[in-house]
Amino acid sequence: MKASNQHPHHPLNILIVDDDSTTCQLLELILKQKNCCTKSAYNLTEARIKLQEQLPDAVFLDNQLPDGRGIEFIQYIKQINPSIKVILVTGAEILLPDKNYPDYFLEKPLSKSLIFKIVDSISESV
């Protein structure tokens, strides 16, 4: 018998980091349609706490947050666990750092079909 974490339908644990509660709620609704377990953080300080409480499989990370930029937080996430997938959510073009790229980009306005494709891709890799 397989361990539960190797089950093909193991629900993904996803952390949503966005200061816009409407975006968080929309992402939660879309991700729940793919049977994902979601938690939300509204800034990087909250995100750090949530990351210490439970490691997610993926983080939907807004770039513009009240206490910093998402693109600069990717290194922190990858230091905790390099296998956590990071989806950078942005409404504008950004200058990429030399390293610590996000695993996926998601532009606003959010596309449900693209979110589904990203979740399917992550599900196959965990």
Domain presence at residue 28: yes
Which range of residues forms the domain containing residue 80?
Answer: 14-111
Contact predicate 20/27, CB 8 Å: no
Is pLDDT of 2 > 90? no
* One-character DSSP codes across 88-115: EEESS--PPPSS---SEEEESSP-HHHH
CA 49 to chain centre: 15
Is pLDDT of 14 > 80? yes
Q: Could you give the number of structural domains in the chain?
A: 1
Domain presence at residue 65: yes
Q: How does residue 8 score in pLDDT terms, banded at 50, 70 and 90?
A: low
Q: What CATH number does the domain containing 56 carry?
A: 3.40.50.2300
- Tell me, what's the pLDDT at 10? 82
- Tell me, what's the pLDDT at 96? 67
Is pLDDT of 3 > 70? no
- Tell me, what's the pLDDT at 93? 72
Amino acid letter at 27? L
- Tell me, what's the pLDDT at 97? 63
Domain presence at residue 30: yes
Laid out side by side, the sheet with 58-62 consists of: 37-41, 13-17, 58-62, 85-90, 104-107
Contact predicate 97/9, CB 8 Å: no
Is pLDDT of 26 > 90? yes
Mean pLDDT, range 46-74, rounded to an integer: 96
Domain presence at residue 104: yes
Is pLDDT of 7 > 70? no
